[in-house]
Amino acid sequence: MSSLQEFFIRMSAFVRKEMAAILRQPRLVAILVLGPFLILLLFGIGYRDSPRTLRTILVVPENSRIKTEIDDLMNRLTGALDIVGTVSSESEALDRLDLQEVDLVLVTPADPYDDILQSQQSQFEVVHQEIDPLEILYVNTLERAYVQEINRQVLVRGVTQAQKRAATVEEKVAASQADAAAVRADLERGDGANALRDVGQLVTDFQALNLSIAASLSMFEGAQSLEKAQHQSSVLLEERLALIERELEDLSLLDPNGTGFKAEVAQVELIEEELAAIKDFFETFQGMSSRVLVSPFAGKTVSVTQVDLGPIDFYVPGVIALLLQHMAVTLAALSIVRERNSGTIELFRAAPLSAMETVLGKMVSFMVLTAVLAAILTALIVLGLKTPLLGTWLSYIAVVLALLFTSLSLGFAISVISQTDSQAVQFSMIVLLASIFFSGFFIALHRLVAGIHIVSWLLPATYGTDMLQDVMLRGRPPATLLMGGLLLWGLILFIFGWWRLRHLMARE
C-alpha cells in the first residue's frame, strides 16, 4: 500500500470518528439545526417595522401670541406624535415626563414675531429622556421633520393670502384693460384730446395695479420663474410691468392735435397684450395649489433590485454568517483541545498519525457536517421565512463553503492555543461578541474608524455578511477581492493550526 493511500485512510478515520461523535448526540444536532431557525423566526415575529408613536405633551405659555395657530398646526400634523394634552407650565410637563406619563415635551415659543423682528429664529424645544443613540436619532429626526412641516404650513398660509389678494389685482388689471381699450378707440377715431385724457386715467389705474402687485412681487416671481422654466418665451412679471410703464410714458407725450396715430395704436395694442398676459398669470396663480407652490418638488426612491426588501431580509445574511461562523468555530475549537485533555494525542503519535492528517481529517468531517446543517438552515430560511435569494445558488454555495472553511480554520487555531475546554469556549464567545459589533451586522463598517477595520477583517463573518448580502439581496456574484481575502485568511489560519499542532504532538 502506498504512503498516499495510507495518508487518506488515516485521515478518513477522523471523518468517521468526528461525525459519529456528533450524530450520537441527536439533541445537539437538533439544537444546531433548529436553534438558529427558531431565533430568526422569533425575531421576524417580534420585530415591529412601524414607526414608534411618541406620547407628546405641548407647552403653550399663557401669554402665547400663537396659541390658535399652534392648535391648528397640531391638528394638521399627524403621524409619529400623539398629542396627549396641552399645558401652560413647562415644569408641569417635565414632571409628567419624569413620571414616564409622556415620551416628549414640546415647548412652543411664546412670541415668535418678536424673535423674527430681531432676526432670530423662533425655537420649538423638544425635551426627551432617551438614552439609546438610535432612539435619540429618531427623536432628532422627528424634531427636524415637524419643524420643517410647521415652516411649510406658515409658507402655505402666506401663499394662500397672496392668492386671495390676487383677486384684487385682477380687478385692477380689468380696469387698466378697459382704459387701454378706450385709449385705442379714441386713437382709431383720431380723437387725440380724449385719447390723452384716457391715457391719464390708464396711468392712474396702472399705478394702483403696480402697487398691488409690488406688495407680493417676490411670491409671484417665484411662481412665474417656474413657468419660465417650462416656457422660455415668457417674460417675468416684473419685466412686463416695466414695459407697460415705458409705453405709458411715451403715450403721455401724445400730441392731441396730431392726425395720424398709427404708431400710438400699436403701442396701446402692446400694452393690452401685456395686461392680458398679466391677467392670465394671476388667474393661473389663483388656481394653483398653495401647498404645491411652497413645496414644488417631491422625491421618490427606487431600488435597483426591484424587490421589496423588509428589515428582516436585511438582517438574514448577517445572521446566517454569524451562526455558521459560531457553529464552525465552536466545533473546531473544542476538537483538538478535547483530544489533548483526554490523552488521545499520545495514541495519534503511536499510530503514527501526522498533524496534517489530523487537521485535514477533522476539517473534512466538520466541513461535511456544517455544510449539511447550513443547507438545512438555508432551506428553512428561504422557504420558511420567504427570504429572497436574488443571486445564483452556485454563488451562495461558494460563499458558504468559503465561510465554513475559514471559520473552521479559526476554530482549529483557537483549539491549539487553548489549554482547557473552558478556554476554547471563552475564545469562541469572544469571537462571536466581536463579530456582532465589528462584522457589519450590528454597526455598518463605514461608521468604524479606519484602525478598527483591522479587527473587522480578521473575522470570517465580515466577509460572509458582505458577500451574502450581495448574493441574496442584490443579486450580484461575490466580490473576487472579498472571496480571495476570505480564503487566504482561512489558509493562513489552517497553516497556523497545523504548525502549532505539529509542535504539540512532537513535544507530547
Q: Residues 251-280, buried b or exposed e (16+ Cβ, 10 A)? A: beebeeeeeebeebbebbeebbebbeebbe
Strands (E), 60-207: 81-87, 104-107, 125-127
CATH number of 159-294: 1.20.120
User: Which grid cell is 143?
Assistant: 424634531
The pLDDT assigned to 137 comes to 79
* 3 state SS of 125: strand
The pLDDT assigned to 12 comes to 59
For residue 231, pLDDT over 50 is answered with no
DSSP string, 175-208: HHHHHHHHHHHHHHHT-HHHHHHHHHHHHHHHHH
Q: How far apart are CA 309 and CA 332, in angstroms?
A: 35
> What confidence tens digit (pLDDT) does each residue in 287-335 have?
666 666 556 555 555 555 666 777 678 888 988 999 899 889 988 888 8
* 3 state SS of 48: coil
The pLDDT assigned to 229 comes to 42
Region 225-231: what's the mean pLDDT? 43
70 or 386, which is more confident: 386
DSSP string, 307-320: S---HHHHHHHHHH
CB 236 within 8 A of CB 225: yes
CB 339 within 8 A of CB 393: no
Phi, psi of 105 (to 5 degrees): -120, 120
CATH architecture of 54-129: 3-Layer(aba) Sandwich (3.40)
91 or 35, which is more confident: 91
Question: How many other β-carbons are positioned within 10 Å of the β-carbon of residue 396?
Answer: 21
475 sits in the region (left: phi over 0; alpha: psi -120 to 50; else beta) called: left
Position of cell 406619563?
A: 101
Domain with CATH 3.40.1710.10 in the chain: 54-129
The pLDDT assigned to 393 comes to 93
Q: How far apart are CA 428 and CA 320, in angstroms?
A: 17
> What confidence tens digit (pLDDT) does each residue in 103-117 have?
888 887 777 767 666
Q: How far apart are CA 413 and CA 415, in angstroms?
A: 5
Q: How far apart are CA 330 and CA 177, in angstroms?
A: 90
The pLDDT assigned to 454 comes to 87
Q: Residues 356-385, buried b or exposed e (16+ Cβ, 10 A)? A: ebbbbbbbbbbbebbbebbebbbebbbeee
CB 374 within 8 A of CB 464: no
pTM: 0.61
Q: How far apart are CA 366 and CA 240, in angstroms?
A: 84
* 3 state SS of 477: coil
CA distance to 162, 175, 389, per residue, from 194 (Å): 36, 17, 85
The pLDDT assigned to 448 comes to 79
Q: How far apart are CA 439 and CA 407, in angstroms?
A: 14
Q: How far apart are CA 34 and CA 50, in angstroms?
A: 28
Region 86-114: what's the mean pLDDT? 82
426 or 77, which is more confident: 426
Question: How many other β-carbons are positioned within 10 Å of the β-carbon of residue 304?
Answer: 7
Q: How far apart are CA 402 and CA 477, in angstroms?
A: 14
Q: CA quadruple 362, 367, 373, 374: dihedral positive or negative?
A: positive
Q: CA quadruple 480, 486, 492, 494: dihedral positive or negative?
A: negative
DSSP string, 2-14: -HHHHHHHHHHHH
Q: How confident is the model at residue 440 (pLDDT cuts 50, 70, 90)?
A: confident
> What confidence tens digit (pLDDT) does each residue in 138-175 have?
788 877 877 777 777 766 766 666 666 666 777 788 88
Q: How confident is the model at residue 225 (pLDDT cuts 50, 70, 90)?
A: very low
329 or 84, which is more confident: 329
**Average pLDDT for the chain:** 76
Highest mean pLDDT among 65-79, 120-134, 302-316, 391-405: 391-405
442 or 188, which is more confident: 188
DSSP string, 229-287: HH-TT---HHHHHHHHHHHHHHHHT--TT-S--HHHHHHHHHHHHHHHHHHHHHHHHHH
The pLDDT assigned to 17 comes to 58
**Cα 259 → chain centroid:** 74
Give every CB contact of residue 394 below 8 A, 6+ residues apart in sequence.
none
CB 459 within 8 A of CB 439: yes
- What is Dmax (Cα atoms) for the chain? 135
Domain with CATH 1.20.120 in the chain: 159-294
Give every CB contact of residue 290 below 8 A, 6+ residues apart in sequence.
156, 159, 160, 163
16 or 497, which is more confident: 497
The pLDDT assigned to 228 comes to 44
Nearest alpha carbon to residue 67 among 114, 19, 109: 109
